[in-house]
Chains A and B, each alone.
Chain A
């Protein structure tokens, strides 16, 4: 048998063998692409932080956030992760007449998020309902988003989180960035962010959350009144976290 004939004869046979072997696998690969009909369309979640009601010694929202989202607290500021935190802002000089203020800071859920723009692997992205979140499976830990975020809202997991209070929600292992995502996992089930619930239970009701596209909602009406401030709205990041009394 010369080579030509051999190849001619063995080719189809080989193809047949490999084809037959892969058939059961191929047959089971029914196409199951993720649906395009997302239930998120049309919504635009936003939050109002009412600093006139927020008590500067209260930690209810921060505690609730750590409990719900397994946010790591190592006890060392180099490694601690905060999704919502409290900062005291002081006037630059005493003569300005401005007061010291205790402000809650969190991811502002920018409508034009710099963090998502710089992420080289599209791990950070904006969902259809406007929530900016991270696909931690994809995050390569480059920390571009931490540099891009003008609000210092992104934190990096330098270490594994030793605590795991809420087993129903994943924790993050070391090497990924993270920030607040408005408890998207609770929203998808019809709930509200853990901090909002906690603040209400603590009696302050300083956090108001809702769909800004729904004209009936409290937040939409508050925003319409036009008395709310956003942090550095002039940057063009279009934050969806509004402040009352800033």
Chain B
């Protein structure tokens, strides 16, 4: 087939459509599949608070879902650079979300994210272990 016959005026729009379809396909899939796939894979992160003194999460759930890593970094910078320790930190999360396996590890494993937090920060592995650390007002550095 000669080149001129592939790209006729008529064919051109067909190629363009195929090209656009290929580009838009992943966006379309994610747009349609976003909620479904997340709900299917991601565990119900908010475990029943057990004798927790907190009424709410530190941010609303949408923000936590999308930005928890940034929220944690904001708190971190506040604490270590400016000495403002007015918010709950990592171990405080464990007051309500007591099971690290369910709360952190499962989603991050699904998203292939390696967590570095727990080499240094204590997070209770299970509800029974949590009693080792009283309260969520953690003197984190």
A contact residues vs B (CB 8 Å cutoff): 1-3, 6, 10, 14, 17-18, 21, 24-25, 28-30, 32-35, 38-40, 125, 127-129, 133, 135-137, 160, 164, 167-173, 181, 184-189
Interface stretch, picked from B39-47, B48-56, B101-109, B131-139, is B131-139
What is the CA–CA distance of A136 and B81 in the complex, to the nearest angstrom? 12
Q: Which of B12, B66, B83, B132 has the most CB of A within 10 A?
A: B83
- Chain A residues with CB under 8 A of B66: 24-25, 28
What is the CA–CA distance of A1 and B16 in the complex, to the nearest angstrom? 8
Are A188 and B80 within 8 A (Cβ)?
A: no
- Chain A residues with CB under 8 A of B91: 167-168
> What is the chain A residue whose CB lies nearest that of B132?
A167
Are A35 and B122 within 8 A (Cβ)?
A: no
How many residue pairs at the A-B interface have CB separations less than 8 Å?
101
Are B77 and A34 within 8 A (Cβ)?
A: yes
What is the CA–CA distance of A170 and B138 in the complex, to the nearest angstrom? 10
Size bracket, chain B contacts = 35 or more
| Interface check B76, CB cutoff 8 A | yes
A166 smallest CB distance to B (angstroms) = 9
Are B27 and A17 within 8 A (Cβ)?
A: yes
Are B83 and A38 within 8 A (Cβ)?
A: yes
Are A136 and B20 within 8 A (Cβ)?
A: no
What is the CA–CA distance of A171 and B91 in the complex, to the nearest angstrom? 13
Q: Which 4 A-B pairs have the closest CB atoms?
A: A173-B119, A170-B120, A28-B63, A167-B122
> What is the chain A residue whose CB lies nearest that of B141?
A185
Question: Given A28-B63, A35-B78, A189–B16 Cβ distance below 8 Å?
Answer: no
Q: List 22 A-B contacts (CB under 8 A).
A: A1-B13, A1-B16, A28-B63, A29-B70, A30-B63, A34-B74, A34-B81, A34-B82, A35-B82, A40-B82, A129-B83, A136-B120, A137-B76, A167-B122, A169-B139, A169-B140, A170-B122, A173-B119, A184-B83, A184-B141, A185-B140, A189-B85
| Interface check B84, CB cutoff 8 A | yes
Query: Within the complex, which residue of A2, A17, A168, A173 is in contact with B138, where a contact is CB–CB below 8 Å?
Result: A168
B contact residues vs A (CB 8 Å cutoff): 9, 12-13, 16, 20, 24, 27, 31, 60, 62-63, 66-67, 70-71, 74, 76-78, 80-85, 91, 119-122, 132-133, 138-141
B31 smallest CB distance to A (angstroms) = 6
Question: Given A2-B12, A21-B31, A125-B81, A168–B62 Cβ distance below 8 Å?
Answer: no
> What is the chain B residue whose CB lies nearest that of A7?
B16
Are B81 and A127 within 8 A (Cβ)?
A: yes
B130 smallest CB distance to A (angstroms) = 10
Question: Given A28-B63, A28-B66, A168–B133 Cβ distance below 8 Å?
Answer: yes
B137 smallest CB distance to A (angstroms) = 9
- Chain B residues with CB under 8 A of A1: 12-13, 16
B28 smallest CB distance to A (angstroms) = 9
Query: Within the complex, which residue of A6, A21, A184 is in contact with B13, where a contact is CB–CB below 8 Å?
Result: A6
- Chain B residues with CB under 8 A of A24: 62, 66
What is the CA–CA distance of A193 and B78 in the complex, to the nearest angstrom? 21
A218 smallest CB distance to B (angstroms) = 23
What is the CA–CA distance of A237 and B71 in the complex, to the nearest angstrom? 36
Are B83 and A135 within 8 A (Cβ)?
A: no
- Chain B residues with CB under 8 A of A129: 83
Are B141 and A170 within 8 A (Cβ)?
A: yes
Are A188 and B85 within 8 A (Cβ)?
A: yes
Query: Within the complex, which residue of A14, A21, A168 is in contact with B139, where a contact is CB–CB below 8 Å?
Result: A168
Are B80 and A133 within 8 A (Cβ)?
A: yes
Query: Within the complex, which residue of B62, B67, B120 is in contact with A172, where a contact is CB–CB below 8 Å?
Result: B120
